[in-house]
Chain A
Amino acid sequence: SAVISQKPSRDICQRGTSLTIQCQVDSQVTMMFWYRQQPGQSLTLIATANQGSEATYESGFVIDKFPISRPNLTFSTLTVSNMSPEDSSIYLCSVHRAGELFFGEGSRLTVL
């Protein structure tokens, strides 16, 4: 299994501010993934974070709103920009290894 650490685990944010979520993996992985889970909903892929190149975003998600960094093979950040209450969600980092997809503990954001 993979050990994935996410920070912060939860936060309460003010409307209009931005927050950066960090994801650290215990060993090198080629791709890292960022998912969003809105309250009472299922998970939706935001983007795939590629080391050395721009992230690949899914339909409905844009770089200006969710900028992603991937400085090395064990670390990635997701920023939620100019937050509104609709951004209140759990944000999860995940990695693919040996046929399995492992998730971090998630970052639960509440936007007031």
Chain B
Amino acid sequence: AQKITQTQPGMFVQEKEAVTLDCTYDTSDPSYGLFWYKQPSSGEMIFLIYQGSYDQQNATEGRYSLNFQKARKSANLVISASQLGDSAMYFCAMHGSSNTGKLIFGQGTTLQVKP
């Protein structure tokens, strides 16, 4: 069975600083993918970044980067130069090799950016 664990229910960061949101996973699939989504208070799910299990380099998308450590089964999200608009819930998720549309989600981390 697959499992995603986010151990930080809530995080605070000062505006313009960097923040790391933790995510660990467990799977027996040889091939899998890891996602990070942002969910503002409006409820929509905004795709941020994706890392495939066979990707050699860590994924980056603008201010978002994914610190993928396969041996440790961790996929932490790093947000650089935090902005007030980054305040939201952040979900880590993964899919296995059998159904790439079926995501298992972590419990989420609420990030608050302080001015």
* Interface contact A102-B91, CB-CB below 8 Å: no
A-B contact count (CB 8 A): 56
Q: Beyond A106-B44, A108-B43, is A48–B102 a contact (Cβ under 8 Å)?
A: yes
Alpha-carbon gap, A48 to B100, bound state (A) = 11
Chain B residues bordering chain A, tally (CB within 8 A): 22
Please tell me which stretch of B21-29, B66-74, B77-85, B105-113 contacts chain A, meaning at least 4 of its Cβ atoms lie within 8 angstroms of it: B105-113
* Interface contact A43-B103, CB-CB below 8 Å: yes
* Interface contact B33-A96, CB-CB below 8 Å: no
* A12 touches B (CB below 8 Å): no
Q: Beyond A99-B52, A108-B43, is A45–B107 a contact (Cβ under 8 Å)?
A: no
Q: Find A45's partner among B44, B45, B47, B102 (CB 8 Å cutoff).
A: B102
C-beta contact mask, B39-72 vs A, less than 8 Å → 1, else 0?
Answer: 0001111010010100000000000000000000
Interface residue ranges, B against A (CB under 8 Å) = 33, 35, 37, 42-45, 47, 50, 52, 91, 93, 95, 99-103, 105-108
Could you list 12 examples of A-B contacts with CB < 8 Å?
A: A45-B102, A92-B45, A94-B45, A99-B33, A99-B100, A100-B35, A100-B47, A101-B103, A102-B47, A103-B45, A104-B44, A106-B43
By Cβ-Cβ distance, the 7 closest A-B pairs, closest first, are A103-B45, A96-B101, A42-B105, A106-B43, A105-B44, A43-B105, A33-B101
